[in-house]
Amino acid sequence: MQRRKLGSASAARRSRPSSADFGGKNINSRNNKPTSKFVGILSILAAASVCALVISTSTAYVSRESRARAETRDPPPASPQRLPSVRSRTGVAVGVPSSDAAAIDLSRYSPEFVTPCGSDSPHSRKRRHTVGRPFTINGASSSFRQQDNKKEEDNARLNSFSDIYKNDVWGGEGGSGTGSLMSSTENVRKTLDLVVDRVKSELGVERVRLLDLPVGDFVWMRHWLANRTDVNYMGMDIVPHLIEEHSDEFKDRHDWAFQHHDIVKDPLSADYDVIFSRQMTQHLQTVDTLSVLRHFSASGKYLLISNYPNVTVNKVLPTNRWRYRPQNLNLAPFSLTDPLCEDDDGGGCISSLFKLPLLQWE
């Protein structure tokens, strides 16, 4: 009897649902495959969520740390700038000592936009440069230095330009070429009017001391001057017979003067409110143009000079009689800053106004 009871109890226990049963089915049985897959998917999703949370937290921490380091990091030291280290006729260096370089207001030399002279509206062309480089050919490539690091002999330069006018090589009415005709100078005459008016206002003067170099044949300039009563005019040129002719023809104009001068060789002996140099450097050797810029920079308040900003490479001056190739004064080795204003002078030539002394890197 006892055995039967025990056997019955064992059978009864086997017949009871265990804690592993769910709805009459055991989840560990082979017939429960869909439920097992469901649990596995839930486990994978949970693990992926944990990994994503860890990665997001780590990224946010790294970003906060990077921002904190950036905010506390010292700014890089500013590059030194200074005005040109050139010598005036008195032998005193023009510019400021390097210790005062931080006080220079670069905005007056490099406006965000280059504006037309006489206009407050921005020009469509953005500025090309913010600061210049030294007036030296050493910063150019070695091939450029080998080709164009040659100064022309003073007598050779004098004879060359004298021959051009004597034999009418450039043509035109008086030998300066068709670019000096009245029909070709309408734009530059308007620009010169605007610049003189602007300089008078900024300097607070009634009359402006104007240097015209080179004066050339003086064909169009005489007409422009006839309409101005506020200009003390000085015309200079390397060709002696041009100066003699102009001096004799206009000897009764006491506010007009003419002087023989080689600006490549000799610095100026007086200061001028405006130095006007139209289409001259395009006829000079590169190193001679550098000398001209040095002399201009030390002897005036403003410089209105011809430039060819669309030129991408400054080439060597040809050895033919015409002595011409356009120069971009914003490129090496000149590397001038962008002008205060500029106007079109035709044929890719631009009249550019600069504040003197010219700004450059040391």
210 within domain boundaries: yes
pLDDT at 169 (0 to 100): 85
What are phi and psi for residue 161, nearest 5 degrees?
A: -70, -35
DSSP assignment of 176-230 equals S-GGGSGGG-HHHHHHHHHHHHHHHHHHT-SSEEEEESS-TT-TTHHHHHHT-SS
Say whether both 174 and 130 belong to one domain.
Answer: yes
- Residue where a domain terminates, one of 73, 103, 130: 73
Distance separating alpha carbons of residues 246 and 221, to the nearest angstrom: 12
79 within domain boundaries: no
pLDDT at 38 (0 to 100): 60
Per run of 10 residues, the mean pLDDT along the chain (length 362 residues) is 46 46 44 56 67 59 50 39 30 28 35 63 48 44 53 92 88 67 86 96 97 94 96 97 96 96 96 96 94 95 95 89 90 90 91 89 36
Q: What is the CATH number of the domain that holds 282?
A: 3.40.50.150
80 within domain boundaries: no
Say whether both 43 and 159 belong to one domain.
Answer: no
pLDDT at 261 (0 to 100): 97
Say whether both 34 and 107 belong to one domain.
Answer: no
302 within domain boundaries: yes
Prediction pTM value: 0.65
pLDDT at 322 (0 to 100): 84
Task: Domain of residue 54: give its range.
Answer: 1-73
pLDDT at 150 (0 to 100): 78
Say whether both 8 and 93 belong to one domain.
Answer: no
360 within domain boundaries: no
Phi/psi region, residue 76 (left: phi>0; alpha: psi -120 to 50; beta: rest), is beta
362 within domain boundaries: no
